[in-house]
Amino acid sequence: MTNHKAAYDLLAESLTKQGLDVEAIKTALKAQRIETPSWGYANSGTRFKAFPWPGAAVTTRQKLDDAAMVHKMTGIAPSVALHIPWDRPEDDDYEGMRQYAEAQGITIGAINPNVFQDEAYRLGSLGNPDPGIQEKALDHLLECCQIMSKVNSDILSLWFADGTNYAGQDSLRDRKRRFEAGLRMVYERLPSNSRMLIEYKFFEPAFYSTDIPDWGTAYAWSLKLGPQAQVLVDLGHHAQGVNIEQIVAFLLDEGRLGGFHFNNRKYADDDLIVGSVNPYELFLIYNELTTAAQSSDQTVSETAKNVAYMIDQSHNVEGKLAPMILSVLNCQEAYAKSLLTPRAKLARAQAAGEVLAAHQLLTEAYRADVRPLLAQVREEIGAPADPIAAYWASGYEEKIRRERGVTATSGGYQ
């Protein structure tokens, strides 16, 4: 018996008394999945300095090893997103890369094309006024569709750095049209049974306009493109005070929420550990997802069940694997709390206009200490009850520090 057991028994008893089905909650928690990003294991920094982290991954194999370790510690992170060309294999052997991942016990998840780091992209990629550069970007995006088939990925995750810095720099309407034409060509070449997720961001690196500034633009384009196109919500890409859970609810209801890039922000695209600044917001987001997954409306519940939960973080001062483990655990905790919301009671309070009662029903779920429940779930799936402690005790961090050492960085990523 581990030391969480007594606390778990008490919690299970109290949840049962509240009318909750503890076994069903545990089953849901065991089915939860969070994808980690390959770039989160490499060195990264701010635009001022990238401080190299001892043991940070350099090669894609090392990143896959690290992702596999995070999965081993948490039991719920069995896939890793790749960024191309950062993760292009030296020998171009993508099948070999997939096999290597599978041999480590993980699979390859979303493919993220990179059309922002080449010299050519100074004025954008698909939105660039130069047709030659639009074509270069398009070629890369289509190459990524082929890579998806080689690595068995069913998600093309699109983020564009495109935009303008000055009023008058380019025609806003022409840029829109270029983007629509480019996205259409990519959409037509998507592997069957796969999805294209369109990520929005209202600032940076362009600051006067970005070509996909908000969820409304991404949503409008996904509607125009077809059912394989959906919206990706990156928690760091909103203005201060935006109600993200409302965006999530809207997109779920319309069948167009495709996935998340989880992180946390204080000011902008800070890419901090998800749930570290505003765990309540994360809970409220999960609450929308859980409510939708349990909905009797089939489009809504199917959409919720297909959401791709991905982390998009870069840890600059706090290490690499331990903060990634913590990020996964924070998602797990938020999800667990969302499963405790008494939905039938809440619906009754809402219908009766009982504002405070409804609010309290929700906040009571948020306040519950679910840690013993999570320790129990982990133990039942064969993961360590305390993943971070287990990680430090595993010797993995010492091993990668010793074997990989410190790699010089240039700035930005890698």
Contacts to ligand RM4 by CB under 6 A: 112, 159, 199, 201, 234, 261, 269, 312
Q: Provide the strand spans (E) within 263-322.
A: 308-311
- Phi, psi of 355, deg, nearest 5: -60, -55
Cβ contacts of 259 within 8 Å, gap of 6 or more: 110, 155, 157, 197, 230, 232, 233, 307, 308, 309, 310
Q: Which of residues 233-252 bind Mn ion (CB under 5 A)?
A: 234, 236
Q: 321-339 and 279-293 helices cross at what angle (nearest 10)?
A: 50
CB of 313 to ligand RM4, least distance (A): 9
Nearer to ligand RM4 by Cβ, of 211 and 269: the residue is 269
Q: What is the DSSP letter of 333?
A: H
Q: Which does 134 bind (CB under 5 to 8 A by kind): ligand RM4, Mn ion, none?
A: none
Report in angstroms the alpha-carbon separations of 342 from 11, 339, 347: 16, 8, 9
CB of 158 to ligand RM4, least distance (A): 9
Q: Which does 154 bind (CB under 5 to 8 A by kind): Mn ion, ligand RM4, none?
A: none
Nearer to ligand RM4 by Cβ, of 213 and 342: the residue is 213
Q: Which of residues 309-328 bind Mn ion (CB under 5 A)?
A: 312
Nearer to Mn ion by Cβ, of 312 and 397: the residue is 312
Q: Which has the closest alpha carbon to 222: 193, 254, 246?
A: 254
Based on the shown chain and the rule CB under 5 A, indicate whether residue 35 belongs to the binding site for Mn ion: no
CB of 395 to ligand RM4, least distance (A): 31
Q: Which does 286 bind (CB under 5 to 8 A by kind): Mn ion, ligand RM4, none?
A: none
Nearer to Mn ion by Cβ, of 35 and 234: the residue is 234
**C-alpha angle 28-30-35 in degrees, rounded to nearest 5:** 105
CB of 159 to Mn ion, least distance (A): 6
Nearer to ligand RM4 by Cβ, of 309 and 396: the residue is 309
Q: Kindly state the tokens that stand for 407.
A: 């790699």
- List the beta bridge partners of residue 44: 413
CB of 274 to ligand RM4, least distance (A): 13
3-state helix, strand, coil in the chain (%, to 5): 50, 10, 35
Nearer to ligand RM4 by Cβ, of 72 and 265: the residue is 265
CB of 360 to ligand RM4, least distance (A): 35
- Phi, psi of 373, deg, nearest 5: -65, -45
Binding site for Mn ion (CB under 5 A): 234, 236, 261, 269, 312
